[in-house]
A and B are shown apart, each in its own frame.
Chain A
Amino acid sequence: MWTDFPLFPERASTIAGGVDRLYFFLVAVGALFSIAIFITIFVFALRYRRRHEDQAAVPFHGSTTLEIVWSVIPLLITMVMFGWGASLYFQNSRAPDGAIEIYVVAKQWMWKLQHPEGAREINELHVPVGRPVRLIMTSQDVIHSFYIPAFRIKNDVLPNRFTTAWFEATKTGRYHLFCAEYCGTQHSGMGGSVVVMEPAEYEQWLSGGPVGESLAVAGERLFRRLGCTNCHSPETKGRTRGPLLGGLFGKPVPLLDGRIVTADEAYLRESILNPRAKVVAGYAPEMPTFQGQVTEENLVELIAYIKSLRR
């Protein structure tokens, strides 16, 4: 019976505990203040009720000391909340190294999830327990939001941009996956589940399904088909028309205009779609755009390929 009427969500990720502790602190402070205020109002209303029509109140008009006290105390309490919330948020925003990278492509009204090994899922995500999973997300149409309440994570998924989120599941089971940002008619149907499995089971699942080629392999094939090889080489050495891609991912890139950017997913994506936005120092701005020629999924494959060229 109780399972049909929960009052508190399941806690199934490494960050859920920390978020809940902060939440309980907020609930405690909130309850303390509300109850104190309710009781005070109630007591004042009874104690100082008007007993006859002409009764006059005791006049006094204010007290600067009191004003300062009840400004500073709430300020201090909220600063504690701010500090705690911001530091937790900051910690939670960074995925640990060595995370499994799963690409999420959202569209009205489904989630397409791609494992690096090539397994593709729709509206269902299988992950192993106890390993960090990093999600690299983009949308094909409107804004969506990837939300797993049991993990206390949520991030909007935007068109034409990558956003990321990460989690490490701590408990096997099946959890809700929701779209939290209103996205059109079937918004409430754009959900599914996350299945957290024992690592061995997960391996079995990975090898069991109709496995396609891995993302990087698909990306390499696309890389050749689009003719990228005419200018870019997957090597780390040599001279080509375009910058070398071997070992590029994650490295700083000096630009023509003097800025230095990190070659992350967002940069690679922008360089494919809008190549002249950030031109690498020493190269001519002559690469054509591939906007309209590649889908979001193609982009994910190309980027997975370039990332696989780590040396």
Chain B
Amino acid sequence: MSTSTNPVLPAHHFDDLQQQHEAAQLGMWVFLITEIMFFGGLFAAYTVYRSSYHQAFGAASRHLDITLGTFNTVVLIGSSLTMALAVHAAQRGRRRAIIGFLIATILLGAVFLGVKAFEYTHKFHEHLVPGHGFQFPDAALARPAELYFGLYFAMTGMHALHMIIGIGILLVMIRLAARGRFSAEHYSPIEVTGLYWHFVDIVWIFLFPLLYLIERHQ
């Protein structure tokens, strides 16, 4: 029945694998609720300032590179696909497929972070990083625009940090998979990692329109 070589036992405090699996799933969902509240604080700050300074926010958002933003969105959606495929492979206990898809996910995540780093450097050269060197072409909107970029860096930075943590977890998963720790009966670590990864993607799906697209309809 099992495709794995070693039989899997539940941890000592669980009655069976089923209970352990359910606990892991619920644990990750609860953690994601926590994450929603965490990003919720940032989104609340964004909402307040966007409504106070919608003109400045619009003008500032035009300084973001929509091509790179769209490219990154596609990359991230792609990484969600490979992640889902990795979970699918895990459910069938196909070790090499798991590892392959996880590596693909990491590569796509790294591409995203690379593009993000490029965008950050660009902002730095354009003096759009908040602080003493901040310059904005339209002086009347400079201060709220600085606020916008403060939020931009805080929100995308927090998101990038979550990506980096996610990549770290994926590396651990690859290691565990290589050691044959997963099987068709026991794959919940891969599955909950997948939940986390999809969550981080979804955050970006909100960030992208709020930061890049708010003025594009005109």
Chains A and B belong together in one complex: yes
A residues sitting closer than 8 Å to B (CB atoms) are 274-277, 287-289, 291
Is there an interface contact between B53 and A277, defined as CB atoms closer than 8 Å? Answer: yes
With A276-B55, A288-B140, A289-B143 given, name 6 new contacts (CB 8 A): A274-B143, A274-B144, A277-B52, A277-B55, A287-B140, A291-B143
In the bound complex, residues from chain B placing their C-beta under 8 Å from that of A274 are 143-144
Q: How far is the CA of A277 from the CA of B141 in the complex (A)?
A: 9
Q: How far is the CA of A291 from the CA of B143 in the complex (A)?
A: 9
Count how many chain B residues have C-beta atoms less than 8 Å from C-beta atoms of the other chain: 9
Closest to A279 in B: B55
B33 on the A face (CB < 8 A) = no
Output the residue of B52, B140, B144 with the most chain A CB within 10 A: B140
Q: How far is the CA of A308 from the CA of B141 in the complex (A)?
A: 30
B139 on the A face (CB < 8 A) = yes
Q: How far is the CA of A277 from the CA of B56 in the complex (A)?
A: 9
In the bound complex, residues from chain B placing their C-beta under 8 Å from that of A289 are 139-140, 143
Is there an interface contact between B139 and A288, defined as CB atoms closer than 8 Å? Answer: yes
The 5 closest A-B pairs by CB, nearest first: A289-B140, A276-B140, A276-B55, A288-B140, A291-B143
Q: How far is the CA of A288 from the CA of B139 in the complex (A)?
A: 8
Whole-angstrom distance from the CB of A152 to the nearest CB of chain B? 32
Whole-angstrom distance from the CB of B16 to the nearest CB of chain A? 36
In the bound complex, residues from chain B placing their C-beta under 8 Å from that of A276 are 55-56, 140-141
Whole-angstrom distance from the CB of B124 to the nearest CB of chain A? 24
Closest to B52 in A: A277
Whole-angstrom distance from the CB of B134 to the nearest CB of chain A? 14
Q: How far is the CA of A108 from the CA of B144 in the complex (A)?
A: 25
Q: How far is the CA of A288 from the CA of B144 in the complex (A)?
A: 14
In the bound complex, residues from chain B placing their C-beta under 8 Å from that of A287 are 140
Contact code string B49-74 (vs A, CB < 8 Å = 1, else 0): 00011011000000000000000000
Output the residue of A275, A277, A289 with the most chain B CB within 10 A: A277
Q: How far is the CA of A122 from the CA of B53 in the complex (A)?
A: 35
In the bound complex, residues from chain A placing their C-beta under 8 Å from that of B143 are 274, 289, 291
Closest to A287 in B: B140
In the bound complex, residues from chain B placing their C-beta under 8 Å from that of A277 are 52-53, 55
Whole-angstrom distance from the CB of A160 to the nearest CB of chain B? 10
Q: How far is the CA of A274 from the CA of B53 in the complex (A)?
A: 10
Whole-angstrom distance from the CB of B129 to the nearest CB of chain A? 20
Closest to A292 in B: B143
Q: How far is the CA of A288 from the CA of B141 in the complex (A)?
A: 10
Q: How far is the CA of A287 from the CA of B55 in the complex (A)?
A: 15
Q: How far is the CA of A287 from the CA of B140 in the complex (A)?
A: 8
A-B contacts, 16 listed (Cβ < 8 Å): A274-B143, A274-B144, A275-B140, A276-B55, A276-B56, A276-B140, A276-B141, A277-B52, A277-B53, A277-B55, A287-B140, A288-B139, A288-B140, A289-B140, A289-B143, A291-B143
In the bound complex, residues from chain B placing their C-beta under 8 Å from that of A291 are 143
Whole-angstrom distance from the CB of B62 to the nearest CB of chain A? 16
In the bound complex, residues from chain A placing their C-beta under 8 Å from that of B52 are 277
Q: How far is the CA of A130 from the CA of B88 in the complex (A)?
A: 80
In the bound complex, residues from chain A placing their C-beta under 8 Å from that of B139 are 288-289
In the bound complex, residues from chain A placing their C-beta under 8 Å from that of B55 are 276-277
- Give the contacts of B112-155 with A (CB-CB under 8 A): 139-141, 143-144
In the bound complex, residues from chain A placing their C-beta under 8 Å from that of B56 are 276
Whole-angstrom distance from the CB of B116 to the nearest CB of chain A? 31
In the bound complex, residues from chain A placing their C-beta under 8 Å from that of B140 are 275-276, 287-289
Q: How far is the CA of A72 from the CA of B56 in the complex (A)?
A: 51
Whole-angstrom distance from the CB of B72 to the nearest CB of chain A? 31
In the bound complex, residues from chain A placing their C-beta under 8 Å from that of B53 are 277
Whole-angstrom distance from the CB of B205 to the nearest CB of chain A? 29
Whole-angstrom distance from the CB of B108 to the nearest CB of chain A? 41
Q: How far is the CA of A275 from the CA of B140 in the complex (A)?
A: 8
Whole-angstrom distance from the CB of A221 to the nearest CB of chain B? 25
In the bound complex, residues from chain B placing their C-beta under 8 Å from that of A275 are 140
Whole-angstrom distance from the CB of B155 to the nearest CB of chain A? 23
Closest to B138 in A: A276
Closest to B55 in A: A276
Whole-angstrom distance from the CB of B138 to the nearest CB of chain A? 9
Q: How far is the CA of A93 from the CA of B47 in the complex (A)?
A: 29
Q: How far is the CA of A288 from the CA of B55 in the complex (A)?
A: 15
Q: How far is the CA of A25 from the CA of B139 in the complex (A)?
A: 56
Whole-angstrom distance from the CB of B185 to the nearest CB of chain A? 45
Closest to A286 in B: B140
In the bound complex, residues from chain A placing their C-beta under 8 Å from that of B141 are 276
Whole-angstrom distance from the CB of A225 to the nearest CB of chain B? 20
Q: How far is the CA of A289 from the CA of B55 in the complex (A)?
A: 14
